[in-house]
Amino acid sequence: MIDIPRLFLDFFNHVVLAYFFILNTVYLILNSISFISLRRYARSMRVLQVDELINIAGALPITLIAPAYNEGSTIVESTRSLLALKYPDFEIITVNDGSKDDTLKRVIENFDMIQVSRAPIASLKTADVKAVYRSRKHYNLWLIDKENGGKADALNCGLNYARTPLYCAMDSDSLLERDSLTRIVRPFLENKDTIAAGGIIRIANGCDVRGGEVKNIKLPKNQLARFQVMEYLRAFLAGRMGWDSLNLTFIISGAFGIFKRGIAIAAGGYHTQTVGEDMELVVRLHRYCIEHKIPYHITFIPDPVAWTECPESMKVLGRQRDRWQRGLMEVLFRHKKMLMNPRYGRIGMLAYPYFFFLEMCGPLIEVPGYILFLISWMTGNLSTMYVSAFFILAFIFGVNLSIFAVGLEELTFKRYGRFRDLLNLFWLAVVENFGYRQLTTYWRARGTWSFFRKVKSWGAMERKGFQTIEADRNTKP
């Protein structure tokens, strides 16, 4: 008699094994490509003087659009960070998206804002604008106060009022490094077909901030935030750098990306019915340019940095990862026409299938895979060879890939100067694979369930505010 449950367990366990093998093989290939590309990039930047390139080619004017919703704890520091940027020609539009806290009041009071008249020059549909303000201290700082419509709606509002050929989409709680715009604009000067570029996001928790600038880079004290530092290094330096080297950039973080304003508007602006508006725009730009036969290039640059505050509680982090998974699924199902479609070239045949089958469907394989593995192991239905293979592919392979990401950071940018922080990063590369990774997989699986339940909420993201050096001094006895 055929033992159906035993056959099913054996089959699914081998599916899980195959999934981890394929996923980690892709990661290994991307890491190898990233290593070569980062070394080449570092060498080129030692020779290239970006300031000279801008002086020769001219500084393309940029509008920074920073949507703000209940960002009272961080809005002043982040705005100071933007005002201190080293770039010849830029303006800032902070869009207050119907905040319920003191965000609007803090911006008006700290930057001496007065109500003025400014007409929009595009007509993307948005929630009603209540007032437009301009700083009497900083001529390039604007504030738009509007009814709540969500982040995508706020970005569209900023696009309507922007007047420059390029715009930078970012989070209002991000801190850009002084030379970030100078570095991220480079591909637009070197290649006329560039329509979008993304920078790297780093974790500001634990770092000292003064005048809107990160002065002393340290690992966070909070263990959950430390895991996210490791996670971001792996995602950007090992992941997105590898995809970019293959000309397959599929995601630009909503915390820091620069776009050609005209083509973003022509493609319809930001889609307001998804929580993954940043990824959705990039995928739609790929689709729009291919369908309209427009030459284009979308890229990732590894050294323009935006510092952001990450969640430090399980509750808030879980909500964030739930939202990220829902956003990914909304985007992929919205543009499912691209999946394995030769019309869309490498994007449709390589990048899209990766994100669809390995990233989006991953939690549906990993979560039951861990559970069934434990059941099979406890009931003695697994061979020693299988247990060893599972452990190597699900854990040891992940440890090595994380260690490799830390190595990339140390070989190229060396942002964490303290030796103990470097040792901690290597330690985190090991321990994150035994608990933290499985926890994020569970949150992603929960996000999958939320997607099918048609949950649309953003989820409250609690902010503690940046740790300023001045504040530290004031608390000392």
Question: Residue 115's Cα: distance from chain center in Å?
Answer: 33
> What pLDDT, on the 0 to 100 scale, is given for residue 471?
42
Sequence letter at residue 65: I
> What pLDDT, on the 0 to 100 scale, is given for residue 477?
32
Question: Residue 91's Cα: distance from chain center in Å?
Answer: 23
Residue 380 DSSP symbol: T
> What pLDDT, on the 0 to 100 scale, is given for residue 1?
47
| Distances 422 to 229, 395, 425, 432, 469 between C-alpha atoms, Å | 12, 21, 5, 15, 23
- Residues 79, 72: Cα–Cα separation, whole Å: 11
Axis-axis angle for helices 397-412, 223-233 (nearest 10): 80
> What pLDDT, on the 0 to 100 scale, is given for residue 124?
96
> What pLDDT, on the 0 to 100 scale, is given for residue 236?
93
- Residues 13, 360: Cα–Cα separation, whole Å: 19
Instruction: For residue 263, give the 3-state DSSP assignment.
Output: helix
Half-sphere exposure of 412 (CA within 13 A, CB side): 24
**In 3D, which of 302, 299, 266, 306 has the Cα closest to residue 284?**
266
Q: In tens digits, what is the pLDDT along the chain, a chain of 477 residues?
A: 456 567 777 788 889 999 999 999 999 999 999 999 998 888 877 666 666 666 656 689 999 999 999 998 888 888 988 999 989 899 999 999 999 999 999 999 999 999 999 999 999 999 999 999 999 999 999 999 999 999 999 999 999 999 999 999 998 778 899 889 988 998 998 899 999 999 999 999 999 888 778 888 999 999 999 999 999 999 999 899 999 999 999 999 999 999 999 999 999 999 999 999 999 999 999 999 999 999 999 999 998 899 998 999 999 999 999 999 999 999 999 999 999 999 999 999 999 999 999 999 999 999 998 988 888 788 777 778 888 888 898 899 889 999 999 998 887 888 888 889 989 999 999 999 999 999 999 999 999 999 999 988 776 666 666 655 444 433 333
- Residues 363, 445: Cα–Cα separation, whole Å: 5
